[in-house]
Every structure is written in C-alpha cells, then in structure tokens.
Amino acid sequence: MSINKRPLSPHLQVYRPQLTSVLSILHRITGFGLAAGVLLALWWFCAIIRGPASYEIFYAFSKNIVGQGLLLCWLFALAYHSLNGVRHLFWDAGYGLELNTAYKSGWAVFFGAVIITALLWITWWQV
C-alpha cells in the first residue's frame, strides 16, 4: 500500500470545534483509554494470583497519586463512554438525530458523566 505524501487542505486548524465533533472524538479517546485500562486490570489479577506479597505492591500503587489519578481518569472514561454509547444506540434506532436534540443529549451526557464520576469517587472509589 503506497503512502500518499501529497499535502492535505487544512481541516483541524480551521474548523471550529462543535459540541458534536468534540464529544465524538472524546468517545473515541475514552474508548481507547478504557481499552488501555484492561492492561491494569490484568496486572491486578496477576497480583492477586501471585499472592499477598505481589498484591501489596499493587495495593501501594493504587494508593499513590499516580494510581489514584489513573483510576479517576478511567472512571470518568467509563461513565462518559457508557452514556455516550447509549446516545449512539438511540441514534442507531433513529431517535434524536435532529441538531437541537443532539446538542441537548450531548450536554446531558457530558454533565451526567461528570456527576456520576464525582458521586462514585466520593462515595465508593476514593482512598
């Protein structure tokens, strides 16, 4: 497959970001982030299987600032990707495709994800 080295006309530099386009790329980014989180889940299972000593190491990682930051980002990614995924499923069924409905559902999904992340973090998932 030959690589096309001819120049592209500017797109990302000129198009104004819309809610629809930003939420769409955020859906892809959060999806990729969640997939990367599978690696950490695998480490978690390995740590449990190898015994209490390995689990201690994982536990310490989960308690320090890097582990907590990753967990918080992953939690937001889960909340946002799930809610936006439901929005996509409604679109697939044919509902909510008008522009003003898409904007309302978009804001609802984004703030819903923020609220769910905050609630879960404060009640169950934090240190």
Partner 1 sequence: MTEENSKNMAVQHWWMQRVTSIALVPLCLYLVYRSRHFLPLPLDYNSLILIIADPFVAMAMILTAVITCYHACLGVEVIIEDYVHGGLRHFLLLLNKSFFLLAGLGASAAVIYIANVLYKGMIE
Residues 32-61 that bind partner 1 (CB under 8 A): 32, 34-35, 38, 41-42, 45-46, 48-49, 52, 55, 58-59
- Which C-beta is closer to partner 1: that of 12 or that of 99? 12
**What number of chain residues touch partner 1 (CB under 8 A)?**
33
Residue 81 CA to residue 97 CA, distance in Å, equals: 19
25 interacts with partner 1 by CB under 8 A: no
Q: The tokens 């904007």 sit on which residue?
A: 103
Interface residue list for partner 1 (CB under 8 A): 1, 3, 28, 31-32, 34-35, 38, 41-42, 45-46, 48-49, 52, 55, 58-59, 62-63, 78, 82, 85-86, 88-89, 92, 120, 123-127
